[in-house]
């Protein structure tokens, strides 16, 4: 049934495109079939989304030694953060995507360590280990962008980590985080994130029963999560040589035991977004986001950066982007981040091979509607 529905959507999209080009040499932009409700596509991999929170405990010797081995000597002595945390599944609003129960179930461990980047590719570099239900043990590493939250005394980090193949069937992928950091554990909320895991392969790993979580102090941060719906690659425009993507974002929910995205997005639009891309480059390239977040009734335009990397077995590219939300103190907004994680065609950063996952964090007294 799913494949039949998708075939119908693709056929209708092709008919629309054919009709739009009659009598003209240039095809009009069209909605990507992979982002149409009723046939939402994950592309060549699978998504899982988790809320993570610092446990406050000392990391294990095994985790710390793995971190030391990754960074080597002398960088192991410059590690600034060694964080023991937990993966949580959550409940969220089907209307706005904002989390209503951010730490509903404890489903596994995650460890993160990091230090300043020395290769000219990033300001900060992280190494991570996690055990995700149904996916298995993972090791990941990659760069982070950093954003200060002056009024909060904390900072934001959007990290992009390549996932290494594992023994349970994972062949690769990318994990991205929307993080609020408090590395020296000042009052006001512990370090935590909303992580999006995109893995390729066919992993088969045990799924243990979720356990009741502790009640962590996460401070003033509120998160939402959604997926692209009706995404359009509108082609290059003045100032946007990499193209323009317009899309709606609809709330998604996750499986309580695994964190895997559960079914189709909600039918309700939670946000409207447009991205103006610069030409793709290495290690990253600029982009400008305009987003209207309905849950907090906010429209803003802000710059950011994107990264693209190869996916094994396909010509498509994995794309992750991060955008800082500027503070709006009159609205009680002390800052935040917007991230996306998805797959794009090899020569079109504004295109969509699948329905990308978007996350939004907001900090301060601002209260989302649900």
For 62-96, the pLDDT digits (tens) are 999 999 999 999 999 999 889 999 999 999 999 99
How far is 111 from 129, CA to CA, in rounded Å? Answer: 5
Whether the pLDDT of residue 10 is over 70: the answer is no
Judged by average pLDDT, the poorest of 4-18, 99-113, 147-161, 329-343 is: 4-18
Percent of the chain with pLDDT over 70: 91
Mean pLDDT of 229-243: 96
Query: How much is the pTM?
Result: 0.91
- CB-CB contact of 305 with 324 (8 Å): no
Q: Phi/psi zone of residue 185: left (φ > 0), alpha (ψ -120 to 50 degrees), beta? A: left
Tell me, what's the pLDDT at 212? 82
Least confident of 54-58, 117-121, 215-219, 310-314: 117-121
Cα distance from N-terminal residue to C-terminal residue, the chain: 32
Alpha-carbon dihedral sign for residues 142, 148, 152, 154 = positive
Average pLDDT over residues 248-252: 98
Ramachandran quadrant class, 81 (left: phi over 0; alpha: psi -120 to 50; beta: rest) = beta
With a cut of 50, say whether residue 301 has pLDDT above it: yes
């Amino acid at each position: 049934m799913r494949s039949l529905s998708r075939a119908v959507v693709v056929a209708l999209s092709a008919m629309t495109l054919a009709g739009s080009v009659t009598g003209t040499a240039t095809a009009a932009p069209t909605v990507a079939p992979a982002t149409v409700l009723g046939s939402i596509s994950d592309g060549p991999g699978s998504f899982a989304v988790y809320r993570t929170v610092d446990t406050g405990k000392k990391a294990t010797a095994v985790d710390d030694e793995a971190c030391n081995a990754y960074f080597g000597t002398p960088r192991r002595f410059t590690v600034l953060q060694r964080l023991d945390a937990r993966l949580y599944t959550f409940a969220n609003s089907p209307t706005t995507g904002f989390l209503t129960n951010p730490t509903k179930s404890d489903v596994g461990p995650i460890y993160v360590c990091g230090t300043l980047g020395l290769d000219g590719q990033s300001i900060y570099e992280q190494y991570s280990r996690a055990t995700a239900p149904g996916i298995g043990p993972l090791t990941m590493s990659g760069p982070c962008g950093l954003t200060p939250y002056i009024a909060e005394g904390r900072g934001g980090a959007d990290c992009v980590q390549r996932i290494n193949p594992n023994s349970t069937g994972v062949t690769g992928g990318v994990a991205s985080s929307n993080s609020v950091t408090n590395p020296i554990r000042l009052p006001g909320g512990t370090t935590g994130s909303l992580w999006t895991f995109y893995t390729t392969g066919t992993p088969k790993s045990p799924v243990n029963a979720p356990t009741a979580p502790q009640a962590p102090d996460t401070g003033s941060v509120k998160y939402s999560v959604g997926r692209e719906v009706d995404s359009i690659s509108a082609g290059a425009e003045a100032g946007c040589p990499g193209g323009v993507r317009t899309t709606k974002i609809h709330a998604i929910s996750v499986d309580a035991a695994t964190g895997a995205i559960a079914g189709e997005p909600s039918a309700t639009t939670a946000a409207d977004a447009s991205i103006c891309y610069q030409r793709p480059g290495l290690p990253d390239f600029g982009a400008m986001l305009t987003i209207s977040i309905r849950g907090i009734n906010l429209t803003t335009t802000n710059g950011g950066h994107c990264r693209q990397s190869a996916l094994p077995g396909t010509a498509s590219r994995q794309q992750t982007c991060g955008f800082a939300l500027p503070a709006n103190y009159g609205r009680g907004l002390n800052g935040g981040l917007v991230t996306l994680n998805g797959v794009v065609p090899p020569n079109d950063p504004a295109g969509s091979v699948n329905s990308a996952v978007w996350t939004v964090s907001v900090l301060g007294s601002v209260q989302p509607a649900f």
